[in-house]
Amino acid sequence: MANTWFTADFHLGHANIIRYCSRPFATVEEMDQTIVERLNASVKPNDVLYFLGDFCMGSQTRVHAYRRRIQCKKIFAVPGNHDKQARKLKEEFSWLDNVAAFRSTAS
């Protein structure tokens, strides 16, 4: 049986978030690796993950690479203000749009 998970604000690739939010990491690479490893320890391939904003910063190539590191196949995502490139890669997610669009498709 698949589990359903909710998360937000990973800010993968966002070096300044370490300082802004006092995250306990020396480098962005350490932060990214730890976050993805901890997520994958809980969320299994057949589970459903709802990601509620600020997945990652960086190029479309980085978005693709981060998404591929997450073992969960079904990710429904609402983009946050730091997801400028992720918004362009809807094919990387099971669903990626704003909340208003989700409400209209769920009715």
Average pLDDT, the chain: 92
Q: Name the β-bridge partners of 50.
A: 6, 76
pLDDT tier at 106 (50, 70, 90 boundaries)? low
Please give the Cα distance from 56 to 13 (Å, whole number).
6
Q: Please say whether the beta carbons of 79 and 60 come within 8 A.
A: no
Q: Which domain holds residue 65?
A: 4-106
pLDDT at 43: 98
Share of the chain above pLDDT 90, in %: 89
pLDDT tier at 1 (50, 70, 90 boundaries)? confident
Q: CA quadruple 5, 29, 11, 94: dihedral positive or negative?
A: negative
pLDDT per residue as tens digits for the range 12-61 = 999 999 999 999 999 999 999 999 999 999 999 999 999 999 999 999 99
CATH number reported for the structural domain that contains residue 33 in this entry: 3.60.21.10
pLDDT at 36: 98
| Predicted TM-score of the model (pTM) | 0.87
| Tally of structural domains, the chain | 1
Please give the Cα distance from 21 to 18 (Å, whole number).
6
Q: Please say whether the beta carbons of 79 and 67 come within 8 A.
A: no
Radius of gyration of the chain from its Cα atoms, rounded to whole angstroms: 14
